[in-house]
Amino acid sequence: MDKLSAMKAFVKVVESGTFTKAADALGVPKAQISRLVQSLEQELKTLLLNRTTRRVVTTPDGAAYYERAVRVLDDIEELESDMSTAKTHPRGKLRIDVSPPLANQIIIPSIEDFCANFPDIQVDIGVSERPVDLVGESVDCAIRAGALSDPSLVARRLGDVRRVLCASPAYLRRCGAPQHPSELNDEPHRVIRYFTYGGGRLSYLLERDGEQCEIYPGSTIAVNESSAMMAAGLAGLGIARSNMIVVAPYLESGRLRLVLPEWNAGAIPLYVVYPPNRHVSAKLRVFIDWVADVCSKALAAQTHR
């Protein structure tokens, strides 16, 4: 039995009131409609219709089945319609996950442009620093800076985020501005360090015109999160190393200043990732293209700055 055809036949009989009218509406013989409904009743092991010589009416089970069947058929029709127009009119809910600096400095300030171009896409923006389980949490894609922790994910590189050293004006007045990275190994300078649980002491490598200088900063403060690094730098606790996405608004406001700006403090890659077995829907495809363009322009502007 073709379950979908039987369901359509049953719904049409209920709505038209007779097998004859249902057959005319569907353009098939009356006997075929009768067979489909009978097969459906046998499959469900219940009577769906009470038949009379003039009209058919639903049984209690038939009325309940009709309500559910109408919703199922409507959903199928909507799905088919969506698939046929998805390429030109992407629609539906899109869930992304992004770190706080990327969300607050790049994605959210620019997202209105995406929403205006694709008004039928609802974007749910999850903001967190934690590694997200894309499959388990039904996330369509994530945008992350740094090395990929899961090599099984499909990744598109969006660019590189420049790292810089910076400090508060108060710190620079108190300790002075270093002229060479080697000064950061000694008093009076302190560099706020990152730490990882179970990890050793981190060194920083700076480069300029082929010259390299590796420093092993001493500090009474170490953090493991980018906003904490900025808070420590703003408090004048030392020289902070972070990326331009995080630092840019503080440089613009004057609350932080670049330290050793002519030295290259490295860069970290920026990716958009999604599960390898996830169908790349039209809504995800247009978002990836949009975010690639937005991030490219933002990173170029920050590098120029």
Structure confidence at residue 86 as a pLDDT band (50, 70, 90): low
Computed from CA positions of residues 253, 305, 100, 290, in that sequence, does the dihedral angle turn out positive or negative?
Answer: positive
- Residue 84's pLDDT is what? 57
Look at residues 212, 195, 99, 208 and name the one whose alpha carbon lies nearest to residue 146. Answer: 99
Of 62, 55, 25, 19, the residue nearest 40 (C-alpha)? 62
Per-residue pLDDT of 92-146, as tens digits, reads 888 999 988 899 989 999 999 999 999 989 999 999 888 788 877 878 899 988 8
What integer is the mean pLDDT of 241-258?
A: 91
How confident is the model over 7-28, as pLDDT tens digits? 999 998 998 888 988 888 888 9
- Whether the pLDDT of residue 264 is over 80: the answer is yes
The pLDDT of residue 65 is 92
pLDDT digits (tens, 9 = 90+) for 154-196: 999 999 999 999 999 999 999 999 999 988 887 788 888 887 7
Model pTM? 0.64
Confidence of residue 72 (pLDDT cuts 50, 70, 90): confident
Mean pLDDT value of segment 240-258: 91
Exposed, middle or buried, 255 (CB in 10 Å: 0-12/13-18/19+)?
A: middle
What is the reported pLDDT for 301?
73
As a whole number, mean pLDDT of residues 80-93 equals 68
Please give the Cα distance from 231 to 116 (Å, whole number). 35
Indicate whether 81 pLDDT > 60.
no
Report strand pairing: 121-127 vs 92-98. Answer: parallel
pLDDT at 200 over 70: no
Percent of the chain predicted with pLDDT > 70? 91
Mean pLDDT of the chain: 86
So what's the pLDDT on residue 79? 67
Q: Which domains does the chain have, with CATH numbers?
A: 3-85 (1.10.10.10), 92-160+268-304 (3.40.190.10), 162-266 (3.40.190.10)
pLDDT at 82 over 70: no
Residue 107 near residue 98 (C-beta atoms within 8 A): yes
- Measure the CA–CA gap between 161 and 270, rounded to whole angstroms: 7
The encoded tokens of residue 142 equal: 């994530």
Q: How confident is the model at residue 85 (pLDDT cuts 50, 70, 90)?
A: low
